[in-house]
Chains A and B, each alone.
Chain A
């Protein structure tokens, strides 16, 4: 917890929030004790541990690697282009996170034709095609605008340079 001095109002809010938070945590514990068979606690704990391992131990270091790759690539590729590419990759990865389990469950079988009725793998493929096309267009537009601005700046610089030539 921060050691920086805080106002009395913040201290009061802080105490109130901690009390509310602890009460809700206790309530969650009571609900768990009442509603869930203790034999299942190990399964819940395994999911918690798995979430931390997957996030802190795998995804985080993957992101770290991507960060470094991006920084090194920044020597050759303009930063906005990198950001656009990174953004597209993030959107694509997020969508995969949501849709790939759907595809897997559909392939296993649902026992109900109205559950997961769409062609999710095909739709995800089309989504990536559109995402790639939109990304390419956005990069092209950015580069065209950047080149235009550079030309305008060069002309302005040239004009100001000419105007400032001292009279003979």
Chain B
């Protein structure tokens, strides 16, 4: 009796939730876009991860100089784009939440569990990613970077399993012409109670499919409170399917365009004029550049401003120290390079300083060598940074002393900082203390 009522309720929910926009074809259309966005986030995220924690054999390209700016901008923008796409996808498949019986078999249980894992990890991933761009770490009872990295595999793994489970449906509805006028799925009326029967001379019966039209799905329920509620719901004018589908796609398109256009300016200059909601704004900050970690937060103010500050460059037993004025006396180079943060914001700036190659040569280094740079900063996982030969020997890699025509601001790494092409901002070490040539 109770089981019948619950099944009746679930069936009623599913039928009432059916919409012309809730079809397998629409799920495939939106699902494709969402999968592309997820894969873009995954690929660019893995690239960012290995730039920061490379495997021993890895080397990276330094051109184009905006490569990391581009990949991380795509990472963040595609992540924001996942909000409308993920919610659209969940909206389309929403009636499946009420499928009856809830669990038909052990494989079905695994399928539903994998979908629950996929949905939960996807929501958590994009939400913590967004909150990370606001640096709202207090909300995370876990380390952001490591959790975000681990979840990326969980999401892509569960996406692969989800695609595998739905592959026949995806193949069937991949092309528009193959999927018109398809019912949502085969009927599952076995559990319907005897108190329900097809509305009037409508098409529904025990062997009729659940369609994308709420009106066609309508059933008369002559008994019980739920029966009367659904009968009340079902007394509605029919929706015109084509209008509804187009309307749905238009809304998804407009929402996607809006979230991208109004936030992407933090990463792409093209959208700077429409940047109303990006957590960073190009040009705002000391030296007309945003700051990620201030000198105060890094607790380096006194050491960085000390009159006896010097950059120590070592190569085995050979060591030289350079005061800021001595660095300024060396050949100076001006480069245009973007600073691109792992949080997604980026901005191209003009940097002036000494080539890292010249500094390591001054202590007798030759050929392709790596360098370990140490910051005055303490208690930070980025206080020590390793740089491969592809960056050390790149003529654009500088120990920067000036930024945008002015001396480096303290918050930008005064008295000297690293700037190299195509690297994450966290590896552009600020408040430099030592450079050590690695064999």
- Contact present for A87 and B247 (CB under 8 Å): yes
Given contacts A35-B150, A55-B123, A60-B94, contact A102 B157 (CB under 8 A): no
Docked pose: A120 CA to B275 CA in angstroms? 11
| A42 at interface, CB cutoff 8 A | yes
A1-B111, A21-B164, A79-B244 are known contacts. Are A114 and B284 too (CB-CB below 8 A)?
yes
Least Cβ distance of B124 to chain A in Å? 5
Instruction: Contact check, B150 vs A101: say whether CB atoms are below 8 A apart.
Output: no
CB 8 Å contact bits of B293-336 with A (1 = contact, 0 = none):
11011000000000000000000000000000000000000000
| A129 contacts chain B at the CB level, 8 A cutoff | no
Q: When the two chains form their complex, are residues A17 and B239 in contact, meaning their CB atoms are under 8 A apart?
A: no
User: Out of B87, B163, B164, B279, which one reaches A94, CB within 8 Å?
Assistant: B87
- Within 8 Å of chain B (Cβ to Cβ): is A58? no
- The range of chain B's interface size is 35 or more
User: B291 near A114 (CB under 8 angstroms)?
Assistant: yes
Check A83 against B259 for contact (C-beta < 8 Å): no
Q: A17-B163, A51-B123, A94-B259 are in contact. Are A24 and B17 (CB under 8 A)?
A: no
Task: Report whether over half of chain A's contact residues are helix, strand or loop; otherwise say mixed.
Answer: helix
User: What is the bound-complex CA distance between A15 and B167, given in angstroms?
Assistant: 11
**Cβ-based interface call for B290 (8 A):** yes
In chain A, positions 25-50 with a C-beta closer than 8 Å to chain B are 25-29, 31-32, 35-37, 40-44, 46-49
CB under 8 Å from chain A, chain B span 228-267: 233, 236-237, 239-240, 243-244, 247-248, 250-251, 254-255, 258-259, 262-263
Partner of A36, one of B150, B152, B248: B150
Could you list some 14 contacts between A and B, CB below 8 A? A1-B108, A29-B154, A47-B141, A54-B123, A74-B236, A79-B237, A84-B247, A91-B255, A98-B263, A105-B134, A111-B297, A112-B291, A114-B284, A115-B292
- Contacts A14-B165, A28-B150, A94-B255 known; 4 new A-B pairs at CB < 8 A: A24-B156, A44-B147, A110-B135, A118-B275
